[in-house]
Copies of this chain bind each other. A is one copy, B any other.
């Protein structure tokens, strides 16, 4: 747990070291620049050595997605004062990590990975804030989809400068969160009283 972190250049391959190196390769050379053979060269080992730790290139790509999810740190408590902030923190973490690995966004978006654990944790906290279970997970999934979708648009198109992109993201996220509080959405709400201390005040109220 102490040695394999960082750059495992010489011997002693580990799944984690391999995946780290693979992500580095994607960061520097793009997805097309990642091949099993090149990865072996990068690690200074036999091109086929990787296959002893990972069955497939598919598994390697899944590993990259898992590593990105780990870097997003979605499980750690946001310590947010409201469900709005909770979701905003979640979106911010996703966006920040994707911005750090723009050339890996394509892989991230294409593969399932371990999305579910972090999502479920947050959905639970939303349930504690008074949302029906289904509504809570929808909210998480929508926030996630909007966030990822916007980053994809940034990465794929040559469009906006960074500042414009930030502003657009804040605009969209605000609108979506506002919408969660509003009428059309209320129908999906169930439990009437908040249960958790982490979301005390901002439980949605019917407005129409």
- A interface vs B, CB < 8 Å? 106, 109-112, 115, 135, 138, 141-142, 144-150, 152-153, 156-158, 168, 171-172, 174-180, 182-185, 188
Contacts and interface: CB of A to CB of B under 8 A. Distances in A.
Nearest to A105: B110
Contacts of A152: 109, 145, 148-149
Contacts of A110: 106, 109-110, 156
B138 A145 contact: no
A171 B156 contact: no
Nearest to A157: B112
A101 to B, nearest CB: 15
A18 to B, nearest CB: 22
Nearest to A185: B175
12 contacts: A106-B110, A112-B157, A112-B158, A115-B157, A144-B149, A145-B145, A146-B149, A171-B188, A174-B185, A175-B180, A175-B182, A176-B179
Contacts of A112: 156-158
A61 B88 CA distance: 35
Given A144-B149, A148-B149, A150-B142, A175 B176 contact: yes
For A111, A135, A172, the residue with the greatest tally of chain B CB atoms inside 10 Å of its CB is A172
